Structures are given as C-alpha cells and as structure tokens.
Structure 1
Amino acid sequence: MSDVAAGGIQAASGLVGSVAGLVVMGSGALLVIAVVIAANLWLRWQRLRAAAPKVEPNTVEASAAYRRYLVAAAWAGGSAREWDHSVRPVLAELVDLAVAERHPAGGELRGMAQDLLGPELWALVDRDVPRSEDRSTPGAGRDAVLRILERVEQHER
C-alpha cells in the first residue's frame, strides 16, 4: 500500500473516533431529522389546504339526511339500476314523510301517496317495484325527480 493511501485511511480513522467526527455525524443526523420534519409539516399543510371546507355542526348541510338527498339527486340522471337503488328509496321516504305530515291522524298512507302522485309518478316511487340491475337503460331522470317534488310541494300548500 502506498504512503498516501495509508495516510488517508489514518486521517479518516482519526476523524471517526474524535470529537470532530462526532460533531460531523451529529450535524448530519440533525440535518436528516430536520428534512423529515419539514417534509412532514409540508405534507400536512397541503392536506389541510386541500380538505373540504368545514361545515358548521348545526347546519342543514351537516346532516346525514341532506347528504343522502344530494347523493340521490346526483344519481337521478343515471341508469335504471342507479334509480332503483339510490333515488327511489330516498324519494319514497320523502313522499312518506310529506303525506304523514299532512295527515297526522294516520290512515292508509300508501294509498294517499298514490293518489297524490298519480299512477305515472307513483311507479317511480313505489318501493314494491322490483329493483332493476340494468346499467344500460337510462333511469327516469332528474326531470322526474322535479315533477315528484313539485307534486309533493303542491300537496303541502
């Protein structure tokens, strides 16, 4: 081995066991820790910025029912399966609530709801209609939802 190479190895081994070597290694470790903390904080900040706006807990938008109605309305323009699985149950619930509110004494709510909507719209809300699994046939659509809601609103007046 040459004298130069041996001198380099001795210098390096002298740095590892010395106080200066500990300072260099400690500084490197602190630098790595600082980079990890900075990356973590930056990622958390990005996640907070991208998060949906907070909704006040006592508002209509915060209620689970409101979110269900929004999801059902979004599926209204989809297939027959989406109508039967997402829209029909929510509309049936809304119609039942409206009829029950209007006739608190009870009675045959199903018959009253049928009379309220008529045969064409009742077929779109009736829970007893078998659910379709057809994803290619279009559902009743948003126009049908609006007609059903208008009929229910007219009933409430």
Structure 2
Amino acid sequence: MKRIVAAGFLLVAGSELLALAGTDRSLILIMSGVAVACALLGLRWYLVRDSRPDAEEQRIDDAAESLRRWLSRTETLISQADATRRDWDRHLRPTLARQFEMATGQKRSKDRAAYDATGRILFGADLWAWVDPENVSRSGVTEPGPGRAALDEILQRLERV
C-alpha cells in the first residue's frame, strides 16, 4: 500500500512538473486531476483486491491450520505425561521450566537459590521435582512419569501466577 501511495504521489508531482515545463499553463489543473484520479483508482483497486473472499479464506485456513498444529502438539505433550520419566524429562520438563520462568520472571542463570526457592513456594516440594530443570534423571529409563494429574496440577498453579 505504501508503494501505491508513493507511486501516486510521484505521478501527481511528475505530471505537474511536465505541465510547468510546457508552454500552456492551463493544462496543469487537467493533468494534476488525471494523475490524482489514476492514483485513487490504483488505491481502490489495491484495496478491493486485498479484501477479496479468497484472501479472507486464506487467513481463515491459516488460522485453522495453526490451531490444528497447536492441538496436535498439546495432545502429544499430554500423552507424554503418562509415559516414562525419560519422556517427561525430554519433552515436558523443558516446556514447564520455560513457562515457569516466563510466569515468575525468575531466571535460572541469574540466581539458582532464588529460582529453586520460588519453585518450591509455587509448586511445593513434590511438584517442583517434576518442573525443576536440574532434576533430570539419567537412569530413570523405565521409571513411570508423574501422570496427567500432576501435569494438570502444575499447569493450574502456573495459571494462578
């Protein structure tokens, strides 16, 4: 749109310069009027073209596709809550730790003691063990994860922050 406005401005200015350079000064008004009309028609064409139903359908399709991807990711994460501790540590723990940092403003790299204390206050010792990014188990390959109930409680506490 900026290009069309700039082109219209340049068209009007150019037509006025041409009319001024000519010998008949009575054409300035006519040439400027034609240039403005062309610029306005071009702008109208651009606005009508942009608001076509196809463009609206494309936006709706993009939003629907985005929602489907989000739903698929969410279902995958929820299914990993019932999987093993290794799956929890690989997929859910980093996501939950990131959400915890965004919700509380605590950064693990700045002050580990304050980070840990905030996590224990918010979640309690039992749930903080499942969110704490430092509590990744290297040997818990077949150990069960905490399950959906723990994930639900963690998410509810994050929402309250």
Structure with greater helix share of residues: 2
TM-score, with structure 2 as normaliser: 0.48
